[in-house]
Structure 1
Amino acid sequence: MDLLKAKIFLYAIDSGSLTKAATKFDYTPSGISHMMSAFEKDVGFPLLTRTKNGVLPTENAQKLIPIIRAECQWDERFMQTASEIRGMVSGNLNIAAYSSIATHWLPTVIREFHKDYPNISVNLLDGVWQEVENNLEEQKADIGFYSYQPMIRHHWIPLREDEMVVAVPKNHPLAQQEAVRISDIEKEPLIMPAFGSDIDVVNVLKEENIKVEYQFSTLQNYSALGMVEKEMGLLITNQLITKGRTNNLKLLPFDPPRYITLGIAVPLENRRIPAVVKFVEYAKRILME
């Protein structure tokens, strides 16, 4: 298998665009199109479905994607290890993370890491819990930064505890309190991030056996905070997400307090990749201080 064609194929389906793949790998769009046609010829059947909105993998290609990702990952590991032996670490590092961690924690870690390892390209994929986990499971990411859940199968490194809070508009009656109980918000309109499936929020409600009706949902917590500011409802979230966004709302801790554990997940097969090892070292040193 031609690994360059394989890597271009994976980037094209991940981005949904041959044009983006051409830019990434410094080819012309026609050159990339010819390479993908040649890759399909090598395999013996079509791999891409071309639409007006971009490209999608065919049904047969879906069966090959895990194998292609694994082959490319092994090639990346080989190149990084060879580079480390030569004394010049290089390669690519894909990191999946909560948007809050990607915004508030990782820029400092990436900056310090890049100073010492400028030849390693860092690609950041931010999203909700399910997106981070899927990126790890599908081998699109080498490391994940999110909250601990018992179903995580990867090597887990805890970094910090983060308190769960309730964001309320400043003129809401609850804003006069110092803390809230679940019973205080049980009948309040809630805004649900991750389209109602934010695992950290769902766990809080599940522990109290509370089923809520909500009128508004959004993918990201940052959008939900904007809705709180417009007095559309309340938001249960973790405190890191609210950093720098408290001018027009008030954060109330729970009584009793509730916390989530934020940390690093490393798939077992990635624990020996040199770039992964180095980045985890930097993250632990900087974020656990």
Structure 2
Amino acid sequence: MDIIKAKVFLHAVDSGSLANAAAQFDYTPSAISHMMMALESEVGFPLLIRTKSGVTPTRNAERLIPILRAQCSFEEQFRQMVSEIHGLSSGELRIASYASIACQWLPSVISRFHADYPGIRIEIMEGVWQDLDSYLRENRADLAFFSHQPSLPYHWIFLKKDPMVVAVSCSHPLASRSSISLRELEKETLIMPAYGADLDVENLLRSRDLKIHSSISTIQNYSAMGLVEQGLGVLIMNELITKGRLNHLCLLPLDPPQYIKLGIAVSDLNRSSPAAQRFISYAKEIIPKL
């Protein structure tokens, strides 16, 4: 199978659009459509369900997607290895990351890395823990920056500890406190990010056997902060998320202090692409100093 067909197909599936794939690979929409029909003819069954709103994979195509992602990943590693022999002059690096890390830490790392390797194209995919885990498992990302979780199925590289804090509106009765215990939060309404299942928060509450009422959930901590500002509840999160985005919130340290471990996860460090390994070395040097 032509590797470009596989890449175009995967991009169409991920973006939900043949037009997006055409723009990404600099083909005309007609050429992309013919390429996908040729691919379907090659495998002998339909791969895409075409509707007015875009495209989705067929059930048979879903069975092929993990293999195609692995094939494209190995092709990229081969290309980068050749590039490394010539000085790592070209390639692609796909980074999955918490939004907070992408905003606060990655710009410094990317700036240094890009200055030394301007030919490496970098794609950042932000999301909550569950999203980033999925990107790694499906070979959509080369590495991920997020928090350590029990039984993590990846090679883990620790970077930094980050304290957990409680955010309340400035008009909340707790706003004047210098700290707060987790037990006191049982009386409060908790706003829960990450589809209502923030693993860092869940682990913290489970470790203290706490049951806290939650009536509102959202995807990102940043949107949850806006809800807290309106007095709709309190929010437990790691401090890095709040940098430069406090607005009208008050932060309370936990007593006793609680932390999460932030770092880099890769499926297999020894089999990672040269660009990924080089980026990791930059991150290990730069981020602990930030």
Distance 1:235 1:57, change over 3 A: same
1:11-26 equivalence runs, <5 A = 11-26=11-26
Rounded Cα–Cα distance in structure 2 between residues aligned with 1:218 and 1:49:
30
Match of 1:268 in 2: 268
Match of 1:198 in 2: 198
Calculate percent identity across the aligned residue pairs.
56
User: Secondary structure at 2:187's aligned position in 1?
Assistant: coil
Match of 1:143 in 2: 143
Rounded Cα–Cα distance in structure 2 between residues aligned with 1:88 and 1:164:
39
Match of 2:186 in 1: 186
Letter in 2 for 1:237: M
Match of 1:228 in 2: 228
The CA deviation at 1:135 is 0.3
Match of 2:29 in 1: 29
Distance 1:121 1:73, change over 3 A: same
- Retained in 2: the 8 A contact 1:160–1:262? yes
TM-score, normalization: structure 1?
Answer: 0.97
Runs of 4+ in 1 over 6 A off after TM superposition: none
Match of 2:73 in 1: 73
Q: Greater CA deviation, 82-91 or 265-274?
A: 265-274
- Retained in 2: the 8 A contact 1:180–1:253? yes
- Asked if residue 282 in structure 1 is aligned to residue 289 in structure 2, the reply is no
Rounded Cα–Cα distance in structure 2 between residues aligned with 1:270 and 1:38:
36
1:53-202 equivalence runs, <5 A = 53-202=53-202
Distance 1:88 1:201, change over 3 A: closer
- Retained in 1: the 8 A contact 2:191–2:235? yes
- Retained in 1: the 8 A contact 2:143–2:265? yes
- Retained in 1: the 8 A contact 2:142–2:272? no
The CA deviation at 1:88 is 4.0
**1:102-131 superposed Cα distances (whole Å, 9 cap, x missing partner):** 111111211211111111100000000000
User: Secondary structure at 1:288's aligned position in 2?
Assistant: helix
How many positions carry a matched residue from both structures? 289
TM-score, normalization: structure 2?
Answer: 0.97
- Structure 2 residue runs without a partner (length 5+): none
CA RMSD in angstroms, aligned pairs only: 1.1
- Retained in 2: the 8 A contact 1:155–1:265? yes
Rounded Cα–Cα distance in structure 2 between residues aligned with 1:185 and 1:86:
57
Match of 1:247 in 2: 247
Letter in 2 for 1:195: Y
